A and B are shown apart, each in its own frame.
Chain A
Amino acid sequence: MNRKMFVSLHLIAMSTVLLNLLTGLRISSLDTPVLMYFDAILISGAVHSMHLISGYVFSVLVLYFIYYQFNNSQLSRNLLNKSQLKKIPHKQGYRALSYHKWVNRLGYIAGLLSVITGLFISFDLMVNTLQPLHFTSALLFLLYLVMHSWIYILQHGKGVLVRLLPSSYTHIAWLKLASIALIACLLYLFNIPVKHSLLVSAIPMDVLIEIDGHANEPQWLTTPSIAINTIGGANFVDGNTQVTIKALSNAQETFFLFTWKDPTQSIEHLPLLKTAQGWKVEEDGFYRFDEQSHYEDKFAVMLSNSCNSGADGTAHLGKTPIKGKPSNWHGKGYHASLDNTVRDLWHWKAVRTNDMYLADDNFIGAPASVQHGQRRYSAGYQADGKESGAYVMNWQWYKANVITPKRLPINYSLANKKVLPWFSSAPYKAELDTLAVGSYLPSVLYRSNRFEGDRADVRARGHWRNGVWTLELVRKKNTLSKHDISLKTGVCMWVSAFDRSQIAHTRHHKAIQLQYSL
C-alpha cells in the first residue's frame, strides 16, 4: 500500500473509530453504569445519528479494506508470511512484527464483528442477540487500539505520528475518501426510510372496544400484529422484552393493544416505611431520579410526524447534553425537541394512572425554562395542561432520609393499599400517627378520580396476568391540542416498557409507521 493511501485510510479509520467508540459507549452507558465513570470523555448530546453515520463510514472503510486485501497484489507481496518473518535477522524485530501481526488479526476480527452486528442493529434485526455482541466487539476493538497504537508508540515514539499524519494536503487520497463518504451517506439515506409498519385495521363506529386490559373483543383476534424487540431496560430478563402491537380505528378514535412480557407485576411506588427514626421513602435511586427497585411498571408510547433515529432526535445523552441547561442527576440524559417540533408521549403507569383508566398525556417539546425551586429538571419532557385532577405524592417534602407524610389514612386498613384516596385520609399530625414501626403507607394520593382536560386525552387500562402485561389504549385521532400529534397514515411511533424503573426503559431503533386501512 502506498504511503498516500496508507495515511488516508488510517486517518479516516482513526477518526471514525474514535467517534464510534465515544458515541457508542455513551449509548451503552444507559444500561452499563460503569461507563458513567468516563462521562467526561464520552460525547454528549444527540449521539445516535452521529454513531449511525460514523458507523456507516467505518463499515464502508472495512469493506474497501477487504476488497483491497484481496485484489491488490502489491499488498499481498508486502505481507510477510511466517517463513519470511523467521528470516528477519534481528530477534526483537521478528518478535515485534509477529506481535503486530497477531494484534492486527484481533483488530480485523473485532472491526468486522462490530460492522456486521452494527449493520444488523441499524435495521432493528436480531437486536436481542446482536446488541451484546456489538458491545463486546467495541470493547475488543478498544483493546486492539491499546495493543496496537500504544505499543507502536512505545516502540517508535513520536515517529509513529510523523508516519501517520500527512505532511501536506496533497498527501491525502481525497477522491478515495470522498467515494467512501459518499457510499456511507447513501447507505445512511437508504437506512432512514426503513421502518416497521403497523396496519391500523378499520372498524365501524358501532363496535365497542372496552378499555379494560383484557382484549377479549373479537376484532383484536382478527387484526394483524407486529412484534418489536426492545432492549436496554432495567430489571427485564437480559434487559429485553418483546412488545406485540395491534391497532384498530373507527372514524373518530384509534385503539391500540400492547402486550409485553414482564415476569414480575410491580405495583409498589416508592412506599413509605415507618422506622424508629421516622417515615422514610423506600428507594435505591430516587434521590438521583433513577429508581430501579421500588417503582411501578410503566409503558410509554411516543408519536411523531418524522421518523428519525434516536427517538426521532429527541434523545440527548450525557450529564449535561443540552447547552445552557442544567445537568441531570443520573447522568443518562434528557428528552427534548431542539427543532421545536412537538412529539406526543403517552405514559401509562401501573399505580398512578391505571386506576384512573388513563395514560398520562405528555409531550416532548423544546427544553423548558429552568425553575430555581425544583431540583429535578426534565428538559423537553413535560405534561400536557390539565383543568383539574391529579395524583400527588404523600410527603410534605422529599428528603433522602426522613420525610413527613402529607396525609394518614382515616382507616388504617387502607395503609396497605397502593394508592390512598384523598377523602379517605386526613392531614398528617404526629399525635394521629399511631402506626407501628415497620408499617407502610402508600406514597401516591389520588386528589380526585382522574385528570381532566388536555392531559386526560388518552384512556388506558393495563392488566397483568401470568407474566404478561396487556394494555389497551385509545385516543381521538385529532384532539386539536398543540401538544398532541394527530393520528394518521405516516405517523411514526416508538414504544418503551419499564419494569419497576423510573427512567430505565427499553428502547428500539427503528420507528413504527402507522398505515391506516381506511
Chain B
Amino acid sequence: MKIRLLTSLLMLLLLIFYCRFSLPVHVTPVHARFTKMINTGEVISSWQGPWSCVVDSSLNVLWEVKTDNESIHDGYWTYSWFDEIQGKENFGDCYFEAQRCDTSDLIRHTNTQGLCNQHNWRLPTPDELQSLIKSPQRPGQAHINNDYFPFIHKGDYWTSANQQQLPQHFTQFNSGALAVNFHAGQQATLPYRNAAFVILVSSLTEANTTSQLSSRVINENTSQKEARK
C-alpha cells in the first residue's frame, strides 16, 4: 500500500512538473533576409522597434524605412525624379523643403543626416526594388513585407533607371524613369514630373558588411528583455 501511495504521489508530481514546464516558449523569430536596424547602426531583433533601416542580407544593402512622423522619411511625401542633371526639379510634395520636392532632395538630406551611419544613400536599381515585391500578407496591404517595411503605400516608387522610353500616352515628355508599383507589383515607366514615392537604398561597404552587422545583433535574451522595457 505504501509503495502504491508513493508511486501515485510521484506520478502526480511528474504531472505537475509537466504542466509547469511544458508550456511553449515564445522565441523571437529571425527573418532569413531582413534585420531591423536603429538609426545609430545597431541591429535589433524582429520584435523590437522602432527601427530606421532594414539590413538586406540577400543584396548586401540597407533599406530606408519610411515613417509617419513628418520627418524627411515620412512615407506620405512624394517626389519628382531628378538627379541634379536630368529629370524634373521640385514636382513632388513634402514639408521639409521650402520649395516642393524631388528625389535629389531626399538623397541629399538623408546623406547629410547619415541615416544608420551611412552616407551613400541612393535610388534603388529596378532589380533591387523589384526584389522587395512580395504578395500582400493581409488584405489591402502593399506588395511588400509589411512587418519590416511599414508605411509603404500601394503606389509607384522611383528607381534609378532613367532615360527610359515612355508609353505612347506620355510621348510628349520624351523620356522618363522606371518605377515599381507596390499595388500591382509591376514596373512602369513614368515621366520625371510625376509625383511618386521613394524608398532609398545604401550599399554596404567592405567596412560595414552584413556579416559584421549580424555579429552586432543583440542576443535573443537581451532583446526579449528590451522588448518588455
Contact = CB atoms under 8 A, between A and B. Distances in A.
Contacts of B24: 319-320, 327
Given A153-B8, A373-B36, A397 B68 contact: no
Interface string B199-229: 0000000000000000000000000000111
B96 interface: no
Contact of B228 (A326, A385, A400): A400
Contacts of B15: 41
Interface in B37-77: 46-50, 68-71
A39 B25 CA distance: 13
A38 B30 contact: no
Contacts of B137: 368-369, 371
A329 interface: yes
A124 interface: no
B140 A455 contact: yes
A384 B18 CA distance: 41
B4 A154 contact: yes
A153 B7 CA distance: 11
Contacts of A3: none
B139 A38 contact: no
Nearest to A378: B138
Contacts of A374: 47, 147
A82 interface: no
Given A154-B5, A399-B227, A375 B47 contact: yes
A457 to B, nearest CB: 13
B169 interface: no
Interface residues of B, number: 38
Contacts of A329: 26
A349 interface: no
Contacts of B31: 372-373
Interface string A391-423: 010001101111000100000000000000000
Given A371-B146, A386-B140, A400-B228, A40 B46 contact: no
Interface of B, secondary structure class, is loop
Given A157-B4, A373-B31, A454-B140, A396 B50 contact: yes
A94 interface: no
Contacts of A191: none
B19 A40 contact: yes
B85 interface: no
Nearest to B48: A397
A185 B147 CA distance: 46
Interface-centre pick from B138, B145, B147, B227 (highest chain A CB count, 10 A): B138
A450 interface: no
A70 interface: no
Nearest to B32: A372
Contacts, number: 95
Nearest to B150: A373
Contacts of B30: 372
B229 A402 contact: yes
A40 B22 contact: yes
Contact of B139 (A396, A401, A483): A483
Interface string A309-328: 00000000001100000110
A319 B147 contact: no
B17 to A, nearest CB: 10
Contact of A287 (B4, B140, B228): B228
Nearest to B71: A427
B98 interface: no
A119 interface: no
Contacts of B228: 287, 399-401
Contacts of A326: 26
Contacts of A397: 48-50
A370 B138 CA distance: 10
Interface in A147-170: 150, 153-155, 157
A243 interface: no
A455 to B, nearest CB: 7
Nearest to A327: B24
A379 to B, nearest CB: 12
Interface in A51-81: none
Contacts of B68: 392, 406, 447
Contacts of A399: 227-229
A37 interface: yes
A383 B36 contact: no
Contacts of A392: 68
Contacts of A455: 140
A40 to B, nearest CB: 4
Contacts of A385: 139-141
A33 interface: no
Given A372-B147, A400-B228, A41 B139 contact: no
Given A319-B24, A374-B147, A40 B18 contact: yes
A193 interface: no
Nearest to A387: B140
A382 interface: yes
A329 B224 CA distance: 14
A453 interface: yes
A39 B140 contact: no
A39 B19 CA distance: 7
B229 A400 contact: yes
B26 A327 contact: yes
A41 B47 contact: no
A263 B140 CA distance: 37
Interface in A327-386: 327, 329, 368-375, 382-386
A390 to B, nearest CB: 10
Interface in B115-146: 137-141, 145-146
B145 A38 contact: no
B197 to A, nearest CB: 15
Contacts of B46: 372-373
Among all A-B residue pairs, the 6 with the closest Cβ atoms: A385-B140, A373-B147, A385-B139, A397-B49, A371-B147, A327-B24
Given A326-B26, A371-B145, 8 more contacts: A37-B19, A40-B18, A287-B228, A373-B145, A375-B227, A386-B140, A406-B68, A483-B139
5 contacts: A154-B1, A373-B31, A373-B36, A385-B141, A427-B70
